[in-house]
Structure 1
Amino acid sequence: MYKKLAIQTIIYSFGCLFPRIVNYIFIKFFTKYLQLAEFSIYTDMYSISFIAISFLSFGLENTYFRFLSKKHYTSQIVFSTAVIIQFIISLFYLILSIFLLKYLVYWLGYKNHVDYLIMFILIIFFDTICILPMAWLRIKEMALKYTIINMINILIQSFIIIYMFFCYTNNNLNNSYNSYYNLYFLLFNIVNAFTDKTGYIFFSNLIASISNFLLIFTIIIEQVNIKNFNFKLSKKMLNYGIPIMLSSIAFSINENLDKILIKRWGTDIINGAYSACYKIASFMSLYLKSFRLGIEPFFFKKSKDYNVEYLYEKLIYTFIIFGLIFYVVICGNISDIIKFLIDKRYHLAISIIPIVMMGNLLLGIYTNLSIFYKIIDKPIIGTYISIIGVLITCIFNFIFIIFPNYKNSFIIPAWGTLFSYGCMLIIVYCLFFKHFRKTYNIIIHLFCAVFIVYCGFYQNLKYRLILQLLYLILLVFLEKNHFFNTKKHLQ
């Protein structure tokens, strides 16, 4: 069991990390070739789309996993019902968005970029449709196919971006002699209307999203049968999924409200720098994502085992330990690492990175602990907790709006991220503390990690590498028994 879980996690991690690593490589590229104001538009559009996808997904991915474990319905009925629900919601969104396009352009402040909004309406539609087929690959343990699809999509997107930035010119299209190539490049004429290079990025994403849909289309055709749609099951799935959807929206607001508001109440220059540094801080989400992809289906499958609470505690504790190591290594050396990640024009907001990264780690711990209310079919608990988190985020962002001219005021939303996720973690821990008994160990490790990062980042300590190495050696020495016992009980 342990060996299979480890292999699955490694493959999923590669499929998750490879596209993200490519994206982080492109951050350096974008910050070099885009103006701060252009990077602000780039981030703003993705922030808005992230919130939209959180709404449209309706929590159906987690709902699909949960209802498969109940065994009251066949897997074909559960999958067909979930996909049909998702398609109806997405189609309704697409029609409504087209109908309200002129109002959306005005409300979002993109009167000069209607083409960008149209592309993102389509990107959101195709990405939402692909969520459940990709989840089907995970539940069927088809990790290799899942990874290959992700890699193909990121390679397509990367190729188009590079082509647009370095090879594309109107003359290339107009002077093509062969009618075949004229037809082939006709699609790229769309970019003639773009007013800045951010449009190249959005266009490449649209092509990649369509490609992703085409790659998983066979799964929909083969596995979805309208005759398997169960109306009674659909109501149960929606009732279960809506609280998860509300939690996802709350998370999206926590992650993106600051960037949306800084653009509109601050300046594009500040938002560009803040957004770039925020993306660096989101390195922690790579670790969280790879862990969740491999572990989450395992959680649900093991929910009936006699020693399930022990396994959950061990796995969550392992996540925290490695998360703290990740935090120390990245944030403790961020002043050196950031030079290779983003252009120096964007270093203005570097001070937010340790704050936001710790917030992301606390979010990861919260996400893992939240499995306890999901397996008892009480996702509404997560909704209430997430609403509290959103309120805290809104308070900090409201303070930013009141004091936009305060020196380094952009750091206020960053602290909001940390306090929001910290409070959410404390609440879920208080509800399920009986399932997690190593609080004292975690608090010690947490304070040690924060102290080392503080010494290396804020005090620019000369010997920070030695201090970090001593911390890692001590951590391995203290926790070697934990990792040995975890492996023994997972086998």
Structure 2
Amino acid sequence: MSGLAKRLASQTAIYGVSSIVGRVLSYLLVPVYTARFAAAEYGIVTGLYAYVSFLNVVFTYGMETAFFRFANRPDTDRQELYNRVLTLLWLSSIVLTAVVALLARPLMSLLDLPPGQERYAIWIALILGLDAVAAIPFARLRLENKARKFASIRLANILIYVGLNLFFIVFCPDVVAGEYLSGMRPVVELLYDPTVGVGYVFLSNLAASAFTLVLLGKELLSFRPRFSLEPLRPLLRYAYPIMLMGLAGMVNETLDRILLPKWLPEGFYPGKSNLAAVGIYGACYKLSILMSLVIQAFRYAAEPFFFAQSSDKNSPRTFALVLKWFTLCCAVIFVAVSVNVDLVGSLFLRRPEYLEGLPVVPVLLMANLFLGVYYNLSVWFKLTDRTYFGTYISFAGAALTITLNFLLIPVLGYMGSAIATLACYFMMAAVCWWLGNRYFPVPYPIGRLAAWLLAAVAVVAFSWAIPVSNQWLGYALHIAITLAFVAALWLVERPAQALRSQPA
């Protein structure tokens, strides 16, 4: 790989400490949730966090990317830009938090929850407000290449979140039930209210978000309020297509968990409510998290990297090399998880009712792979200031997502939602590549990458088709198949050969 690509890989690895390691820690909560909560209860968490994904985009309205774009202009006073953007986010977050809190009852009714659960929505409103305020200080750390500090704070956030989840969902109920440390029961009963139930997931998130602002104290103390909107107009014009694109992206990413309980016929899954189906789908969706983690870590490093390299005459070749190795790494993850999904599922989904949804995992993994490819390809419209193309592509994806969910959920259940997600992200990546060839040509090795992805799908299909009666023999065979795929990829695409070859 080139020196620039290696630097991007290094930055991605550091951001991965917070994104991958931190998310893996939270991923370990999946066995806790699936052991402690019935599918219908977990459906509440899945459903509410689907709404959170939409609201996160509204609360930040594209200002993070706009901050990067304008901060990299040579005539920009970065401190003044930081002051103005953060002032705007402070004010808007206060207003939006109040609005969401006031609409708590309608929000909860969307999940068909009885009155009295509005506190969940209020806690979520506070989380959204705190996270929106933290977004620009985090963006400043990324802009200044302070990846280690960024990673440390993100990791601390996750550790607090995980620790509080374990305390309120495992430790406190066990102590109250007399499982152990019964002498601590009077103290625990002062802190723990069993009626909160899954609400402790949201309370843990709220506490972690609040502590994150404390850890960003240096960045927040350097902030000086600036209330003039006029200098921000160019940023807002740049940002609003990104916000619309983000909202459309959330349609593609999370709307299935909102539509599923509405469009799934009652009794589609015998003996299970629609909310339980959402819980099963949400838990199995978590098994595709490794792909999402790599994509998230890559995005943290890639956005400032792509902007910084935009003026380099060799940037197209660098971008092509980045896409190649990103896609190959994701292909390995796809094979590793899909081939071994029975083993992974038995480790993380602790109730048999959740295991029914495992067939959606390979579909969702491939969908997330194409989402990562799309993020790579989208560099062309960000660097050419044609962000409206991203909006068009995202809205086309949203229309396809809604249409396919409407058609497939009543017939295929949550597998229909998974297929809709895959079709959406594949279409977005294909259209983005086609348009990019017209406005910002990059020599991406599309044919070679398509061949590897087809090979990966064939390997997964082959492994699923082999009947193995012995469970442990099956695990060993699947691990061997995974290692064989990795070895084949390495032999063909090893770095020494990559250095001698040109992207084709």
Fold shared, TM-score > 0.5 on shorter chain: yes
SS of equivalent to 2:358: helix
Which residue pairs with 2:71 in the alignment? Answer: 68
**Quick one: structure 1 residues 96 and 438, their matched pair in 2 at CA, closer, same or farther if it must change by over 3 Å?**
same
Which residue pairs with 1:432 in the alignment? Answer: 436
From 154, 158, 163, give the equivalent of 1:154: 158
Deviates more, 1:69-78 or 1:424-433: 69-78
Is residue 335–residue 457 contact of structure 1 (8 Å, CA) maintained in 2?
A: no
From 118, 121, 124, give the equivalent of 1:117: 121
Unaligned runs of 5+ in 2: 177-182, 265-273, 469-473
From 369, 373, 380, give the equivalent of 1:372: 380
Which residue pairs with 1:198 in the alignment? Answer: 198
Percent identity over the alignment is 26
Deviation (angstroms), 1:385: 0.2
Deviation (angstroms), 1:215: 1.6
**Quick one: structure 1 residues 302 and 487, their matched pair in 2 at CA, closer, same or farther if it must change by over 3 Å?**
farther
Residue 236 of structure 1 pairs with residue 246 of structure 2? no
From 380, 399, 407, give the equivalent of 2:407: 399
**Quick one: structure 1 residues 78 and 162, their matched pair in 2 at CA, closer, same or farther if it must change by over 3 Å?**
same
Which residue pairs with 2:286 in the alignment? Answer: 279
Distance 1:217 1:290 in 2: 24
Deviation (angstroms), 1:14: 0.9
Read off the aligned partner of 2:259 and give its amino acid letter: L
How does 1:319-398 map onto structure 2 within 5 Å? 319-343=326-350, 344-398=352-406
From 244, 247, 250, give the equivalent of 1:249: 247
Unaligned runs of 5+ in 1: none
**Quick one: structure 1 residues 486 and 245, their matched pair in 2 at CA, closer, same or farther if it must change by over 3 Å?**
farther
What TM-score comes out, normalization by structure 1 length?
Answer: 0.89
Read off the aligned partner of 1:442 and give its amino acid letter: L
Is residue 324–residue 444 contact of structure 2 (8 Å, CA) maintained in 1?
A: no
Which residue pairs with 2:216 in the alignment? Answer: 216
Which residue pairs with 2:179 in the alignment? Answer: none
Deviates more, 1:374-383 or 1:69-78: 69-78
Read off the aligned partner of 1:355 and give its amino acid letter: V
Deviation (angstroms), 1:465: 4.4
How does 1:14-25 map onto structure 2 within 5 Å? 14-25=17-28
Deviation (angstroms), 1:473: 2.5
Read off the aligned partner of 2:349 and give its amino acid letter: I
Deviation (angstroms), 1:279: 1.4
Distance 2:160 2:311 in 1: 42
Distance 1:282 1:399 in 2: 26
**Quick one: structure 1 residues 116 and 170, their matched pair in 2 at CA, closer, same or farther if it must change by over 3 Å?**
farther
Which residue pairs with 2:225 in the alignment? Answer: 226
Deviations 1:48-83 (A, max 9, x none): 111100122111111111111122311112212221
**Quick one: structure 1 residues 459 and 392, their matched pair in 2 at CA, closer, same or farther if it must change by over 3 Å?**
farther
Deviations 1:369-389 (A, max 9, x none): 001110111111000000000
Is residue 40–residue 263 contact of structure 1 (8 Å, CA) maintained in 2?
A: no
**Quick one: structure 1 residues 325 and 69, their matched pair in 2 at CA, closer, same or farther if it must change by over 3 Å?**
same
Read off the aligned partner of 2:429 and give its amino acid letter: L
SS of equivalent to 1:435: coil
Is residue 374–residue 432 contact of structure 2 (8 Å, CA) maintained in 1?
A: yes
Deviations 1:204-263 (A, max 9, x none): 1111111112221331221x2225x66343111111111111111111111111111223
Deviations 1:380-402 (A, max 9, x none): 1000000000001001121245x
* Alignment coverage as a number of residue pairs: 473
Deviations 1:277-306 (A, max 9, x none): 111123211111122222221111111111
CA RMSD, aligned part only?
2.8
Distance 1:200 1:300 in 2: 40
